[in-house]
Structure 1
């Protein structure tokens, strides 16, 4: 009698940190349980994916993947798509497998290949509006989770808030428009010399840092970097924040009770604006859309935010969607094993 191969959970997604972190959170929860499955991540090869996966112990395979239009016109992207389909199909074939699509165009070939290999398909959709990849994959999905699994491993239960501090997050790859608009907004604030700035940028960190210094913020009170690995903690520590409206950022903000000023990314298929409006309706935070006079509108929102006395301490809520999703995956694997 041929033994059943070890169960597999194949996470397919990437292109941004917001498409990888939910899968990593669920993988953490699966690994912490009894009889953990084999875990494999199928990702793209953009810098953010390489940086994040190189820091993990999980097995992963990366491919030169791209949106549909480029896949149809680029030989490298077409080969990457075909290679990802073959790899996922080969990994899933002949054993109990759950393929988890976590979002982004990177999820498409992996989910399709795994389905061809006999896998059960789960999709995670944390956004208020489904992305293009999720809409394309929904006919093959056995279940869709409307949740935002987020990593709480290593996050402190409580964080002290630094008065007169501002965090700027333009997403995992930064934001050129916020790099320009926020220093200009800060320049007109009263008490600018007492601000402490932390800014995750999309361009040249030194150029952004110089813009803050020119706006009147002392150089020793400005920290600019291309990536902050502990963004959730920095968000909790900051008296005020300006961020995009990706679902992961909003989950981190809600976890610590932070009310950031949200500037939805205008080219994200409309879902960031929907995310921002949904979040603002619950949390009461400001939403500033990109467009004319962005620095002036940010200045007004920021002045109001800084005028509010922040709490001395922010505490992390115990809600853990990752554990719930992991338990449902375990149940499906048990069913598949018979």
Structure 2
């Protein structure tokens, strides 16, 4: 039994928790970290999400977690013909979630956000099941703003987020990091990627779908980059470039799963978007970062705020998309490498007290009420 497993009192029925969240990997990773821990404490975990989203693929990798698909609609901030149809999809999803929750009778619902979660939160509220929400970004996303009135507590990663949550529901817990990321082996990472020890490794990550802007900047500058570094490039589904396969010191993959902890362990620096879950994982692992946040044209601007918070703390270099010239890109990476030890010393000063344990305690309290 894991060290964090707690015995269940005799005669007490198994507790059930319903997780939701999806639309992107960032809306699932916290759930992936919490589910095994709560299972070890005697909880029965089930998941509710869309029928074909990334959350279904990721949850399928876990043991003993039943998945229940429902109808969902995307919450868009721009004009689109689908905006006419999506309210009906959301209404259908609320009805499906209501019926499933009534049947499953969970003790508590934990929502990571994303448009997938809104029907589930409403279905839980209609069944009088307590809801706890998690918000990773510095400012709440649209889905969590909609869901906030129906939640008991909102767990936040950034301390600054507390002032953005109405109703005094915010609880600053800090980042939830998948435990397997802490167990990586640098030697295994080098062996798996067939790279050599002694020359610094840079890990490039563009998120679950990849980042075309980052991919293009890396590949344009491969001759210069590979003089100083070896690169492991996670470029996203369908984004492999066969013309780069023979470049010495460069490895490209669409996506990795079990290998990620080892690849992070062998990496000196990380180039990434600025999704909050990822950058807090890099912070925990003491990996200096070059962050290229999504522009406001492609997002609500949350990654820009996340990156700016980390820049002020001295954990990273930041390049906005409109600044992503070859000269700026190579210069920022060079500065990051030169300052890597200073940055790591700052990162060591940022220690978080058991955020996962804090959330588990809130879940326990909500289930009792």
Q: TM-score, normalised by structure 1?
A: 0.83
The Cα shift of 1:96 comes to 5.6
Distance 1:269 1:188, change over 3 A: same
Q: Does 1:139 align with 2:146?
A: no
Do 1:42 and 1:84's aligned partners in 2 also have CA atoms closer than 8 Å?
Answer: no
Q: How does 1:168-247 map to 2 (within 5 A)?
A: 168-189=204-225, 192-193=226-227, 195-202=229-236, 204-207=238-241, 210-211=243-244, 217-218=247-248, 221-229=249-257, 230-247=259-276
Secondary structure at 1:326 match in 2 = helix
Aligned length: 320
Unaligned runs of 5+ in 2: 1-10, 158-174, 191-196
Q: Which has the higher contact order (CA 8 A, sep 6+)?
A: 1
What residue number does 1:15 align with? 23
CA distance in 2, matches of 1:25, 1:43: 17
Superposed structure 1 runs of 4+ greater than 6 Å apart? 309-312
Q: Deviations over 1:253-297 (max 9, x none)?
A: 011111110111122311111111112222431011101543321
Distance 1:332 1:250, change over 3 A: same
CA distance in 1, matches of 2:32, 2:98: 21
Q: Does 1:273 align with 2:284?
A: no
Q: Deviations over 1:91-117 (max 9, x none)?
A: 433846322220111111111111111
Q: Deviations over 1:164-199 (max 9, x none)?
A: 21111001111111111122234444xx34532111
Distance 1:89 1:8, change over 3 A: farther
What residue number does 1:81 align with? 90
Q: Does 1:31 align with 2:42?
A: no
Q: Does 1:55 align with 2:61?
A: yes
Q: How does 1:84-95 map to 2 (within 5 A)?
A: 84-93=93-102, 95=105
The counterpart of 1:66, out of the listed 63, 69, 73, is 73
Secondary structure at 2:243 match in 1 = helix
